[in-house]
Amino acid sequence: MEREMNSRASSGPSYEVFLSFRGPDTRHGFTDCLYHGMVAAGILVFRDDESLRVGERIGGELLAAIEKSKIYIPIFSTNYASSHWCLGELAYVVECASKSNGNKEILPIFFDVEPVDVKLKTNLYRQNLSQIQKTFRTE
Pairwise CA distance, residues 14 & 68, whole Å: 5
Q: Are 97 and 131 in contact (CB under 8 A)?
A: no
The one catalytic residue among 2, 4, 16, 89 = 89
Concerning whether 89 is annotated as a catalytic residue, the answer is yes
Q: Taking a C-beta distance cutoff of 8 angstroms, is the pair 68, 13 a contact?
A: yes
How far is residue 14's CA from residue 70's CA, in Å, rounded to a whole number? 8
* 3 state SS of 18: strand
Instruction: Give catalytic residues, as residue numbers.
Output: 89
